[in-house]
């Protein structure tokens, strides 16, 4: 594990570190925890504003891993999840306990209520050794380890210090590679949400993957976006909503609830039509209908009703008009044309006649 080099154990074995490219064969396996999102032997930073649903999303991904179910359509590697959640371990336990999972799957979701200081070499080393024992005892791989949150996992280090944050990510990398797992650091945004995770930019530079959570354009939607992928192609955003789950009744008979992340499709928004453009389209359609009528000898001189003309107009241009207002809308357009300097129609009260200007009989 990288730390202050003060003894021979910290000197790399250069014989094994340096080798020619000729000795390399590319691996065709991704070795993923969540395909397209999280790779084992790598680290990630999941960040977002307070109360956006970071822990709920982590529980959802972890739930998918212990139940071998796809997460947002992505395949997962089944196995153990270790969720280090010193801020609110009971909240994580409630979420997983209330999920639709079997007792055996719940057994594979491990929650730690004790903070691990990633700057403490001895603590990190003992953590890794303990988890190796868990894997040996259960016969299962640890697929995902989550430190929720980063602020509770750095001891007295300053998150604004680049050197300190690089050291923390190096510790996370060592855990990931020692256990062939993915290590995720859950983090908060700063005052300016658009500037990314709080603290030093060295965090973003050091991790392999950066995932951003942003409130969606609808009240109950949260977007999950890949801001960075070091070794994988970046995928399109996915979305979830927070759903309240009732755990039971408290001592006063009131509901005790928890929150689950529920996958959703991307919210769709229909662009409101431009009123002026819609009106121009309707006027043009009426003009064309009148000119067409003027080219037919049997119709050119005959009076006609508004309803007769309406039957010849493209319905999609009047889709935004209520049926009971259709004739009134067309009457208004015809009245404007009748009052123009060079009118092509005359009449009122729903009965109209083409003027000679509109007559274009075939020659």
Share of the chain above pLDDT 90, in %: 61
C-alpha separations of 147 from 4, 43, 339 in Å: 23, 11, 74
Share of the chain above pLDDT 70, in %: 91
Mean of the per-residue pLDDT values of the chain: 90
Report the Cα 124 to chain-centroid distance in Å.
32
Is this model's pTM higher than 0.75 or not?
Answer: no
Answer for the pair 30, 232: CB distance below 8 angstroms, yes or no.
yes
Burial of 298 (0-12, 13-18, 19+ CB in 10 A): exposed
Q: Name residue, tokens 């306990």.
A: 97
Q: Report d(CA 182, CA 177) in Å as an integer.
A: 8
Answer for the pair 186, 148: CB distance below 8 angstroms, yes or no.
yes
pLDDT band at 4 (very low <50, low <70, confident <90, very high): very low
27 compared with 255, residue with greater pLDDT:
255
Domain range summary for the chain, segments of one domain joined by +: 32-264, 275-358
- Top-ranked range on mean pLDDT: pick from 165-179, 180-194, 261-275, 340-354: 165-179
Instruction: For the domain covering 32-264, report its CATH number.
Output: 3.40.50.300
Instruction: For the domain covering 275-358, report its CATH number.
Output: 1.10.10
């Amino acid at each position: 594990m990288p730390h202050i080099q003060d003894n021979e154990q910290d000197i790399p074995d250069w014989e094994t570190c340096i080798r020619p490219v000729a000795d390399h064969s590319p691996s065709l396996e991704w070795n993923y925890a969540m395909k397209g999102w999280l790779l084992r032997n790598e680290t990630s930073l999941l960040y977002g504003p307070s109360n956006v649903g970071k822990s709920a999303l982590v529980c959802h991904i972890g739930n998918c891993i212990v139940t071998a179910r796809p997460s947002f359509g992505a395949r997962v590697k089944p196995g153990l999840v270790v969720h280090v959640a010193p801020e609110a371990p009971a909240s994580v336990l409630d979420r997983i306990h209330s999920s639709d999972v079997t007792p055996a799957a719940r057994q594979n979701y491990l929650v730690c209520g004790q903070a691990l200081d990633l700057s403490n070499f001895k603590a990190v080393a003992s953590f890794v050794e303990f988890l190796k024992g868990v894997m040996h005892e259960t016969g299962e791989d640890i697929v995902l380890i989550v430190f929720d949150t980063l602020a509770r996992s750095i001891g007295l280090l300053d998150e604004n210090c680049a050197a300190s944050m690089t050291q923390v990510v190096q510790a996370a990398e060592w855990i990931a590679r020692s256990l062939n797992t993915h290590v995720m650091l859950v983090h908060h945004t700063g005052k300016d949400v658009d500037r990314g995770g709080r603290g030093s930019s060295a965090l973003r530079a050091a991790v392999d993957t950066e995932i951003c959570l942003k409130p969606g354009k609808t009240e109950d939607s949260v977007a999950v976006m890949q801001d960075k992928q070091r070794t994988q192609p970046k995928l399109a955003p996915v979305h979830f909503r927070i759903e309240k789950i009732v755990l039971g009744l408290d001592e006063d008979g009131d509901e005790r609830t928890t929150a689950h992340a529920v996958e959703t499709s991307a919210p769709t928004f229909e662009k409101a039509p431009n009123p002026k453009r819609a009106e121009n389209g309707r006027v043009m359609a009426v003009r064309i209908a009148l000119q067409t009528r003027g080219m037919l000898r049997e119709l050119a001189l005959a009076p006609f009703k508004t309803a007769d003309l309406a039957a010849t107009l493209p319905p999609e241009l009047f889709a935004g008009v209520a049926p009971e207002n259709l004739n009134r809308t067309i009457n208004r357009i015809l009245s404007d044309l009748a009052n123009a300097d060079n009118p092509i129609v005359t009449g009122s009260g729903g009965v109209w006649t083409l003027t000679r200007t509109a007559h274009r009989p075939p020659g």
